C-alpha cells in the first residue's frame, strides 16, 4: 500500500539528506573555552571544516543526552545542538581564540579564505535571533585579510590561508600563521599589519604568543619551530630536530605548540614519517626515545 505523496517536498528532502551528510562528515579543527568567571567553564566554542563558528553549552549537551535508550555507538553519533552559530569563513575555519576577557572580549577566528574575523562576544551570546536563522545575523567588527604577493606583470598570488592565530591583548596585537610561510602581526585598533616574520621555508601550522618576553613561537611544515623577537621581527632561535642524526628523515613537520602557565616550558608536537619519537629538549639539546607505531612526537623545551 502506497502513501499519499501529494505534498511531498523533494527539495526539502534533498536538503535534509545533504545537511545530515554534512554534519556526519564535519571536522572540528580547534576549540576554546569561552570567557568565564567560573573556574569550571560552561561554554566551548569550535571552529569547523564547513567554515562555521559555533558555541555549545556543556551542561545542556550532557542533560539532553538520552542515556539508556540506544546503543553506546548511536549515542556517540548524536549531534549536539549549538547555542550560537556563525557562518564565519568561505572554506574551513582552522582556529578560534578570544581577545580580551569577560563580556567585552572579541571572538576571533581564522580560516582557509585568508581572513581573520572578530565578533563581540557579548552581542553573540545575547542575540535573540533563533538558532535556525543564525549564521549571518551578526557583522564582524574586525575583518582582516592576508596580503597577496605581486608576480610578473603585476599578477597577484592566491590569498594565503591562516592556519592558526595567537593574541597579545596588552600589546594590541593578533598574530597569524599563514600558508605563505610567513607569520603576521596585526594591529587590532588600526586593522593593519605591524610586522612580518620571515624565515620558514614552508607553510606554518601553529603560532603562540610569549607576551612576557615579547616573543612569538611558530611551527612549520618545514620541520622546525622558531622563536621570534616581536620588537625587531628577527628569529632568535631555530629549533630543528632534523639536525639530530637519529631523527634524520623521520620528522616531517611541527604541527602544534603550547606554553605552560609560567611561559618557561614550550611543548611542540611533530608529525613523523615512520614512527613516533618523544623528544626532550633541555637547553635546546635533543634526547630522543623511540615509540613504534605512533605517528606523533612530543618536544619539550626549557627556557
Contact, 122 vs 96, CB < 8 A? no
Contact, 176 vs 116, CB < 8 A? yes
Query: Rounded to whole angstroms, how far apart are CA atoms 128 and 132?
Result: 11
What digits encode the pLDDT tens for the residues 184-213?
A: 999 999 999 999 999 999 999 999 998 888
Q: How many CB atoms lie within 10 A of CB 255?
A: 17
Please provide the average confidence, as pLDDT, over all residues in the chain: 79
What digits encode the pLDDT tens for the residues 113-167?
A: 999 999 999 999 999 999 888 989 999 999 999 998 887 877 888 899 999 999 9
pTM of the model: 0.79
Query: Rounded to whole angstroms, how far apart are CA atoms 84 and 126?
Result: 10
pLDDT reading at 270 higher than 70: no
The answer to whether the Cα torsion of 189, 192, 194, 197 is positive or negative is positive
Nine-digit cell string for 223: 620541520
Which domains are seen in the chain, by residue range? 27-145 (2.130.10.10)
pLDDT reading at 266 higher than 70: no
What digits encode the pLDDT tens for the residues 94-126?
A: 999 999 887 789 999 999 999 999 999 999 999
What digits encode the pLDDT tens for the residues 18-76?
A: 666 666 667 889 999 998 877 778 899 999 999 999 999 888 777 665 555 454 544 55
Amino acid at each position: 500500500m502506497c502513501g499519499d505523496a501529494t505534498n511531498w517536498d523533494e527539495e526539502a528532502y534533498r536538503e535534509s539528506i545533504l545537511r545530515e551528510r554534512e554534519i556526519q562528515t564535519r571536522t572540528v579543527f580547534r576549540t576554546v573555552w569561552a570567557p568565564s568567571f567560573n573556574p569550571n567553564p560552561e561554554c566551548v566554542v569550535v571552529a569547523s571544516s564547513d567554515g562555521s563558528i559555533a558555541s555549545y553549552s556543556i551542561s545542556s549537551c550532557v542533560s539532553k543526552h538520552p542515556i539508556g535508550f540506544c546503543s553506546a555507538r548511536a549515542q556517540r553519533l548524536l549531534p549536539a545542538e549549538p547555542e550560537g552559530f556563525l557562518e564565519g569563513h568561505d572554506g574551513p575555519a582552522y582556529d578560534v581564540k578570544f581577545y580580551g576577557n569577560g563580556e567585552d572580549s572579541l571572538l576571533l577566528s581564522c580560516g582557509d579564505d585568508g581572513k581573520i574575523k572578530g565578533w563581540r562576544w557579548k552581542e553573540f551570546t545575547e542575540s535573540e535571533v533563533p538558532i535556525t536563522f543564525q549564521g549571518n545575523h551578526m557583522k564582524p567588527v574586525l575583518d582582516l585579510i592576508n596580503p597577496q604577493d605581486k608576480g610578473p606583470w603585476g599578477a597577484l598570488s592566491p590569498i594565503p590561508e591562516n592556519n592558526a592565530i595567537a593574541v597579545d591583548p596588552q600589546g594590541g596585537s593578533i598574530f597569524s600563521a599563514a600558508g605563505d610561510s610567513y607569520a603576521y602581526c596585526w594591529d587590532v585598533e588600526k586593522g593593519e599589519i605591524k610586522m612580518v616574520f620571515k624565515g620558514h621555508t614552508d607553510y606554518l601550522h601553529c603560532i603562540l604568543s610569549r607576551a612576557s618576553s615579547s616573543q612569538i613561537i611558530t611551527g612549520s611544515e618545514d620541520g622546525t619551530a622558531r622563536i621570534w623577537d616581536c620588537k625587531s621581527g628577527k628569529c632568535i632561535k631555530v629549533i630543528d630536530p632534523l639536525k639530530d642524526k637519529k631523527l634524520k628523515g623521520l620528522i616531517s613537520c611541527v604541527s602544534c605548540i603550547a606554553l605552560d602557565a609560567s611561559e618557561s616550558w614550550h611543548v611542540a608536537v611533530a608529525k613523523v614519517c615512520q614512527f613516533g619519537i618523544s623528544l626532550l629538549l633541555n637547553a635546546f639539546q635533543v634526547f630522543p626515545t623511540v615509540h613504534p607505531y605512533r605517528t606523533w612526537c612530543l618536544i619539550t623545551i626549557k627556557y
